[in-house]
A and B are shown apart, each in its own frame.
Chain A
Amino acid sequence: EAQVTQNPRYLITVTGKKLTVTCSQNMNHEYMSWYRQDPGLGLRQIYYSMNVEVTDKGDVPEGYKVSRKEKRNFPLILESPSPNQTSLYFCASSLYGTGTYEQYFGPGTRLTVT
C-alpha cells in the first residue's frame, strides 16, 4: 500500500529534551516536506527536500533540523524543544517538487512540549 508513515503519533516531552520524528514514504517520491498545523494558522511549511541530500527552509524553520540521506526517509529533529513547538506535525511527499503534484500526507504527530 502506498503510504507515508510517521512515528511517533503522539509525544509529550519536556523543554530541552532532543527528539526526532521519523517520516518514511514507499512511493519513490523525490519531494518531501514537513508542516506544522496550528489553530487559525493553517499548515505552515517547516523544511522541504527536493531530493536526497537537498534540503531547504520553509516558512517556519527556526528550532528544527532535517536530513535526507535516503530517498524514502525525512526525519524532523528538534534539538531543544520549547513549548511554542507544541503543535500537530505532518510529513508529506509528492512525486516532484514543482508544486503541481498531489501531496500525500502522513497521519500526523501530535507533539506537546511542557
Chain B
Amino acid sequence: RKEVEQDPGPFNVPEGATVAFNCTYSNSASQSFFWYRQDCRKEPKLLMSVYSSGNEDGRFTAQLNRASQYISLLIRDSKLSDSATYLCVLGGSASKIIFGSGTRLSIRP
C-alpha cells in the first residue's frame, strides 16, 4: 500500500462550483500535513498547512481526520485560476517528507 494515496482525477468542474478531494495516508506516526499546489510544468508551492482543528484560508478549507487517516481540501466558489494539481504532503520523523501523486483539477468557464 502506498504511504499516501490521492485520487488522480482529473476533476472537471464549472466555475463557481465547490469541489473537495481527499488524501489518505498509512503511517499513523505522520505529524505534519500540507497541501501544495503545482501548476503545469512548474514547481510545487505551499497552499496551506493542515491542522488537527481544521483551518480555512479564504475559499480553501483543509481538514485532518487522524482516526480515519485522511486529510481533505475543500475549494468553494472555484475560479479558473484554481486549475492545477494539488499535492498532499506528509511530514513525519526528521527529514521524512512524503508527497502524494497529486489530484488534477480543471475549472471550466
Residues of chain A having any CB pair with chain B under 8 Å: 31, 33, 35, 40-45, 48, 50, 56, 88, 90, 97-100, 102-103, 105-108
Contacts and interface: CB of A to CB of B under 8 A. Distances in A.
B99 A100 contact: no
Nearest to B46: A102
Given A40-B101, A43-B99, A99 B93 contact: yes
Interface string B44-86: 1110010000000000000000000000000000000000000
Contact of B94 (A97, A105, A108): A97
B97 A103 contact: yes
Interface of B: 8, 31-32, 34, 36, 41-46, 49, 87, 89-97, 99-102
B86 to A, nearest CB: 12
A106 B43 contact: yes
Nearest to A108: B43
Contacts of A97: 94-95
Contacts of B96: 99
Contacts of B97: 33, 45, 99, 103
B89 to A, nearest CB: 8
Given A99-B95, A100-B31, 15 more contacts: A33-B95, A40-B8, A43-B44, A44-B99, A48-B95, A88-B41, A97-B95, A98-B91, A99-B90, A99-B94, A103-B36, A105-B43, A105-B44, A105-B45, A106-B43
